Structure 1
């Protein structure tokens, strides 16, 4: 009988980068953060150097976000509320035409 080789990682397991990105995204999208339009993100012991730098790079490269490095190693992300275009604004108006019933 041949031995089965152990899989390197389970399909459901997230990488360090995926975990960090998901945590940061959840923090930014949290209702309280959305109301105040800022959030402070603390680096956890489980966050690798490469992952932390990559996520900070993505945030810094995003025009709508302002990144502030704090003395304690955390970062504060701020943004201004984007104006939302009302639904239908700029769309052409259509008039409904009555059609004769097909029967």
Structure 2
């Protein structure tokens, strides 16, 4: 039997909020975002998210006096772009092939 879930946990909500802030167009353009703990975020959930972010490679974290955290990351390296373009080229090649039927 599967359990019926009654909505998102506090940790899931916090994770989605932080993810949305990081993925916002403005943050992506500047490769920088300030996140903060809301009154509704438990200390345990906040610490869990901070640990996860600390373990993320290529992410710089600056802890501010007011409790907020500034996240910064580098632009994708040229190596990353090459892999991405090779995947795109492979997809294009398969789309150009004739269907086998």
TM-score of the superposed pair, with normalisation by structure 2: 0.74
CA distance in 2, matches of 1:34, 1:66: 14
Q: 5+ residue gaps in structure 2?
A: 94-101
**Of Structure 1 and Structure 2, which has the larger fraction of its residues in helix?**
2
Report the aligned-residue RMSD.
2.3
Whether 1:35 and 2:29 are equivalent positions in the alignment is yes
**Range with bigger deviation, 26-35 or 79-88:** 79-88
How many residues are matched? 84
Match 1:78 to one of 64, 72, 80: 72
CA distance in 1, matches of 2:65, 2:44: 20
Q: 5+ residue gaps in structure 1?
A: 1-9, 95-103
TM-score of the superposed pair, with normalisation by structure 1: 0.73
User: Alpha-carbon deviations, 1:11-70, whole Å to 9, x = none?
Assistant: 251000000000000100101000000000011000101100000011011111111100
Runs of 4 or more, structure 1, over 2 Å off, are none
